[in-house]
Amino acid sequence: MKPVSKTSPPGRIKIMTSFSTLMGTKDFQSITIAEIAKNAGVTEGLIYKYFKDKKDLLYQVLCQHFAGFLSLVQDRTAAENSCIAKLEAIVSASLESYNQNRVFARILLLEVRNSPAYFDSCAYAMVKKYSRLIREIVCDGIAKKELKPDTDPFLLQKVILGAIEHTCLKQVIFDRELDVQAASSGIINIVSYGVKK
Amino acid sequence: MKPVSKTSPPGRIKIMTSFSTLMGTKDFQSITIAEIAKNAGVTEGLIYKYFKDKKDLLYQVLCQHFAGFLSLVQDRTAAENSCIAKLEAIVSASLESYNQNRVFARILLLEVRNSPAYFDSCAYAMVKKYSRLIREIVCDGIAKKELKPDTDPFLLQKVILGAIEHTCLKQVIFDRELDVQAASSGIINIVSYGVKK
DNA sequence: TTTTGTAAGTAAGTTTTACTCACCTTTTGT
DNA sequence: ACAAAAGGTGAGTAAAACTTACTTACAAAA
């Protein structure tokens, strides 16, 4: 079996980009296999040579997008020293990516979580890496006495991830622009210092 | 045209409860109309007498669940005086409801947001009420100098809602129990005082 | 009491769409 | 050179969502 590289079977590439393009204008459910094939200039049968089913195509496209996203996040955090600065880097890099790549954001935030198969996909494996990264930064911050010692790393990770997602959710759904800078510094401010007077 | 009450057409009730039950064991996509009809003891055709399509059935079932949830949240917040106490009431009531009613939680958090029609449904209208309630409490807290004056009500609302959802997401997806008390006080603690030492 | 109009419910289609399978064609390793 | 494997095709299948023409129950008006 030949390795599946980023450029190898032209058909595979065409199918994935065709699908990605279609996801820019409509939701997963209303995109048909016939449409994907026609748009890619291949036959329906070929799609099933490279993808188990329609959802597998979705997961693999997400996986590709997420790979780029994850390495961006890793680079940005590595460039920062303090725990808070690292967390702000994650928040802003995430919001920036979701803002710039709406297809990626819509797949990740709206289209995959509903089916069990997703949680066995390579895309979800990357999501786990991403959330583990946040948790590790938090743990490190506690160890270095930058964060309060009673902070629950799991809970804080969830609060940050939830904040990121919900902050851009409306913009992603209704295709509106997001002020990434304002939102990320706002989130970090709330999480760092709290809102109570 | 007769009014559609909570008990009126037996068929309608049977369809909705049948669907709700099925949602307890499998996801929306893999539930078929035939299955719903058989389980309810009615014919497939009847479903389309009361519901525009399969998704409309989903939205109406969510709407019913959400109505009860919303009034619980309203009651709990009305019983508190301070802004922080009201917010904690919202967080704990939400987590409690999601923990107890998994069908409701899974529909709301995983199954509806992917299709545009949802945002015109009566269910989404209630979600808007719910998030507006949070925002109003925040605004009130700022006005009463309980919260910092530079707090952005929209952003804080999103952070809280995101924190709620992400905190129970894993538990809802993988059907695990959630420590509602610990989670809600943890969230309120982070949002109130921050995590920075 | 009969009529009549409407809501409740049925049963047998139709159509769409994801998916399959048997078959060609091109490339590649030995 | 040639077998084997990968790339690609096109017609066909099955299942599931949705339609439509129909019947039955039932309440209020005449």
pLDDT at A195: 97
Predicted confidence (pLDDT) per residue in A136-163, tens digit: 999 999 999 999 999 999 999 999 999 9
What's the per-residue H, E or C state across chain B?
A: CCCCCCCCCHHHHHHHHHHHHHCCCCCHHHCCHHHHHHHHCCCHHHHHHHCCCHHHHHHHHHHHHHHHHHHHHHHHHHCCCCHHHHHHHHHHHHHHHHHHCHHHHHHHHHHCCCCHHHHHCHHHHHHHHHHHHHHHHHHHHHHCCCECCCCCHHHHHHHHHHHHHHHHHHHHHCCCCCCHHHHHHHHHHHHHHCCEC
The pTM score is 0.95
| H/E segment holding residue A35 | helix A33-40
pLDDT at A6: 60
For residue A3, pLDDT beyond 80: no
Looking across all nucleic acid strands, the nucleotide with the smallest C1' to CA distance from residue B30 is D16
pLDDT at A52: 97
For the domain that residue B172 is a member of, what is the CATH number?
Answer: 1.10.357.10
Q: Which domain holds residue B41?
A: 1-51
Which among A96, A134, A127, A133 has a CA at the least distance from the CA of A112?
A: A127
**Last residue within a domain, chosen from B28, B51, B74:** B51
Is B97 found in the same domain as B173? yes
**Last residue within a domain, chosen from A51, A66, A90:** A51
Q: A77 CB contacts (<8 Å, ≥6 apart)?
A: A86, A89, A90, A93, A133, A137
Pick from B29, B152, B158, B175 the residue to mutate for testing the A interface (most A CBs within 10 Å).
B158
Cβ A22 to strand C below 7 Å? no
Is A24 found in the same domain as A77? no
- Express as a percent the part of chain A with pLDDT over 90: 96
- 8 Å CB contact of A155 and B173: no
Chain A: give the shortest CA distance to residue B49, in Å: 23
Predicted confidence (pLDDT) per residue in A13-26, tens digit: 999 999 999 999 99
Is B130 found in the same domain as B76? yes
pLDDT at A8: 72
Looking across all nucleic acid strands, the nucleotide with the smallest C1' to CA distance from residue A48 is C19
Is B185 found in the same domain as B156? yes
Is B22 found in the same domain as B62? no
Based on the structure, what is the number of domains in chain A? 2
| CA atoms lying within 13 Å on the CB side of residue B180 | 14
Amino acid found at B194: G
| H/E segment holding residue A167 | helix A153-173
Amino acid found at A106: R
- 8 Å CB contact of B152 and A193: no
pLDDT at A4: 64
Is A181 found in the same domain as A102? yes
For the domain that residue B14 is a member of, what is the CATH number?
Answer: 1.10.10.60
Q: Kindly state the tokens that stand for A22.
A: 């279609």
Is A99 found in the same domain as A10? no
Q: How confident is the model at residue A2 (pLDDT cuts 50, 70, 90)?
A: low
**Could you list the pLDDT tens digit for every one of the 197 residues in chain B?**
456 665 678 999 999 999 999 999 999 999 999 999 999 999 999 999 999 999 999 999 999 999 999 999 999 999 999 999 999 999 999 999 999 999 999 999 999 999 999 999 999 999 999 999 999 999 999 999 999 999 999 999 999 999 999 999 999 999 999 999 999 999 999 999 999 99
In degrees, rounded to 5, the angle at the alpha carbon of residue B67 between the alpha carbons of residues B157 and B40 is 135
pLDDT at A182: 98
Predicted confidence (pLDDT) per residue in A35-82, tens digit: 999 999 999 999 999 999 999 999 999 999 999 999 999 999 999 999
Mean pLDDT of A178-191: 98
Which residues of chain B have a CB within 8 Å of the CB of A145? 197
Is B181 found in the same domain as B87? yes
For residue A7, pLDDT beyond 70: no
Is A60 found in the same domain as A29? no
Is A144 found in the same domain as A78? yes
Question: What Cα–Cα distance (Å) separates residue B150 from each residue in A194, B84, B139, B144, B188?
Answer: 12, 16, 11, 13, 18
Is B90 found in the same domain as B71? yes
Q: A166 CB contacts (<8 Å, ≥6 apart)?
A: B158, B159, B161, B162, B165
Which residues of chain A have a CB within 8 Å of the CB of B159? 159, 162-163, 166-167, 187, 190-191
Cβ A26 to strand C below 7 Å? no
Q: How confident is the model at residue A90 (pLDDT cuts 50, 70, 90)?
A: very high
pLDDT at B5: 61
Is B127 found in the same domain as B72? yes
